[in-house]
Amino acid sequence: MKPDVTSFFDEATNTVSYVVKDPKGSACAIIDSVLDFDHASGRTDTRSADDIIAHVREHNLDVHWLLETHVHADHLSAAPYIQQKVGGKIGIGERITVVQDTFGKVFNEGTEFQRDGSQFDALFKDGDIFDIGQLRGDTLHTPGHTPACLTYVIGDAAFVGDTLFMPDFGTARCDFPGGSSEMLYNSVQKILSLPQDTRIFVCHDYKAPGRDDYAWETTVAAEKAQNVHIGAGRSKDDFVAMRDARDAQLGMPKLIIPSLQVNMRAGHMPPADEQGNVFLKVPINRL
Ligand SMILES: [Fe+2]
């Protein structure tokens, strides 16, 4: 089955969110939503999420799932906000517990921060199956960028998160805690072994050098043949050497500190104080 896929691009964080709809009904899933955040002022905004909610309402969609491909380090998830407005269950990979353990320590969260994934409604493991109406979703565990990364294969479409980017841009960094370029290589092989005409939808686009427009949809065949980091039969050793050298040059994403604290809580802010004020922490010399 071919799901109807509608894309929402957030230029501030280069993130693509997707509404994936059963072509024979009203059921849908929303993948990797964005809560706008202005770091300088500490202010959130729901403009991006409201666009998705308006689309859901306009087409009378029934939101079954709010899926996260991973704990994003470059934008905040709007899943709880969207859930409150239009419903749906929030799902992520079961290895989120590893990510929660790592960053629970980095942010000194103490015992009230549960590291068992209980902030999410569903924890998927490799090979789990879920439904969006008459559509079938399969989960592939595709670690490397983070230990908990999932690819959601829904009908003929694969939502690969930050494993692969467009063929002319390459792959995601593997230097966050628990990341591994070797694991990413193996995960990408899993994705490339899907049927060749599988549509691939990536989570970010930054316009590759020489390309004027943003793009986020490609195919397994195109990635396999042309991906500049890992296509055309690139060997694991070559890839790992290239990826690790590149990652050593990269600065941290602008929103990593707020993003991790919110996204490891399934998109919820940390608990408010007695006056109802919410604060995020800045760990010094920890990242
Ligand atoms: Fe990411």
Q: What is the pLDDT of residues 215-263, one digit of tens each?
A: 999 999 999 999 999 999 999 999 999 999 999 999 999 999 999 999 9
Other CB atoms closer than 10 Å to residue 282's CB: what's the count? 10
Is 73 a member of any domain?
A: yes
Distance CA 239, CA 260 (A): 27
CA distance 263 to 260: 5
Q: Distance between alpha carbon 62 and the CA centroid of its chain, in Å? A: 22
Query: Could you tell me if residue 30 is inside a domain?
Result: yes
What CATH number corresponds to the domain at position 183? 3.60.15.10
For residue 134, report the distance from its CA to the centre of ligand 1, in Å.
29
pLDDT in tens, 121-164: 999 999 999 999 999 999 999 999 999 999 999 999 999 999 99
Structure token digits, residue 181? 């370029």
The CA 3 to ligand 1 mean position distance, Å, reads 24
pLDDT of residue 218: 98
Q: Does pTM surpass 0.95?
A: yes
Q: Is residue 108 part of a domain?
A: yes
161 CA to middle of ligand 1, Å? 7
What is the structure's pLDDT at 122? 98
Ligand 1 center from residue 36 Cα (angstroms)? 16
Give the residue carrying structure tokens 């990979």: 93
pLDDT of residue 114: 97
267 lies in some domain:
no
Tell me, yes or no, whether 273 lies in a domain. Answer: no
Q: Ligand 1 centroid to 210 CA: how many Å?
A: 24
Q: If you measure from the C-alpha of residue 253 to the centroid of ligand 1, how many angstroms do you get, rounded to a whole number?
A: 10
Domain count, the chain: 1
d(Cα 231, Cα 2) in Å, to the nearest integer? 25
Cα angle, residue 33 at apex, residues 256 and 133 outer, rounded to 5°:
145
- Mean residue pLDDT across the chain: 97
Q: 87 lies in a domain?
A: yes
For the stretch 88-99, pLDDT in tens is 999 999 999 999
The 10 Å Cβ neighbour count of residue 123 is 17
Which residues pair with residue 120 across a beta bridge?
none
Distance 149 CA to ligand 1 centre (A): 9
The answer to the question of residue 269 being in a domain is no
How much distance in Å is there from the Cα of 211 to the middle of ligand 1? 22
List CB-based neighbours of ion ligand 1 within 5 Å: 72, 162
State the residue range of the domain holding 174: 4-256
In a domain, 10, yes or no: yes
Query: Could you tell me the distance, in angstroms and rounded to a whole number, from the CA of residue 203 to the centre of ligand 1?
Result: 8
Predicted confidence band of residue 177 (pLDDT cuts 50, 70, 90): very high
Centre of ligand 1 from the C-alpha of residue 70, in Å: 7
Extended strands (E) in the chain: 4-10, 15-21, 27-31, 36-38, 43-45, 62-67, 89-93, 122-124, 129-132, 135-141, 150-154, 157-161, 199-202, 217-219
Whole-number Å distance, alpha carbon 62 to ligand 1 midpoint, is 27
Rounded CA gap, 34 and 95, in Å? 22
